[in-house]
Amino acid sequence: MLTSNILKGVTRGFPLKIKADKMEHISVDYNRDFIARIIPRIEYDALRAAVNDLGLNESLPEAMSETLQQDDEFLKTMHKVLLEYEVEEGELICPETGRKFPISKGIPNMLLQETEVS
């Protein structure tokens, strides 16, 4: 899940929508310091949108305040959402053009066709 958040930010400049055909729930050791370090770097709105797209049963507050970033419950939820959900098969979809980028074995394929490169 972390990748899709980053890609939303970097590759297209605006959030890509995400669709999953196969999701995996994995168990990852909770590292509070790591989560605390990483959440200020996250595009929070994009992450909430992804959680929504995927219909995950996790509730993320509308905004991420300073106090929230210290809250253990919130950090644990962020840990789950960022690290424990993996889209194995699915798609990232450009909201502007509808162009679909397939995700296979957890790897998004951002390769462009010759005709797409201006």
Partner 1 sequence: MKLKELESHLSHVENFSNAKEYLEQYMTTPHLAARMIYTAQTQYDDIENHLLIDLGIGTGMLSIASCLLNADHIFGFDCDIDALNLCQSNIKEFELESNIDLIQADLRRIRLPVDLHRIIADTVIMNPPFGTKPFSSSTENQDELCLTGIDMHFLQYARQLARHSIYSLHKTSTRDHIYKKAKDWNMNMDVLAVLQFDIPKLEKKRSNRKTSTASNAPLKSIEVDFIRFEIKDNTND
* Residues found near partner 1 in the complex (CB under 8 A): 2-3, 6-7, 9-13, 26, 28, 34, 37-38, 41, 83, 105-112, 114, 117-118
Kindly state the smallest distance separating residue 110's Cβ from partner 1, in Å.
Answer: 4
Nearer to partner 1 by C-beta: 12 or 19?
A: 12
Q: 63 vs 105, which CB is nearer to partner 1?
A: 105
Residue 91 beta carbon to partner 1: minimum distance, rounded to whole angstroms: 14
Instruction: Provide φ and ψ at 59, rounded to 5°.
Output: -105, 120
CA distance 84 to 29: 9
Q: How far is the CB of 19 from partner 1 (least distance, A)?
A: 17
List the structure tokens of 32.
Answer: 């509070």
Q: Taking each helix axis from N to C terminus, what angle separates 44-53 and 2-10, rounded to the nearest 10 degrees?
A: 120
**Residue 19, class by beta-carbon neighbours within 10 Å (0-12 exposed, 13-18 middle, 19+ buried)?**
middle
Nearer to partner 1, 2 or 68 (CB): 2
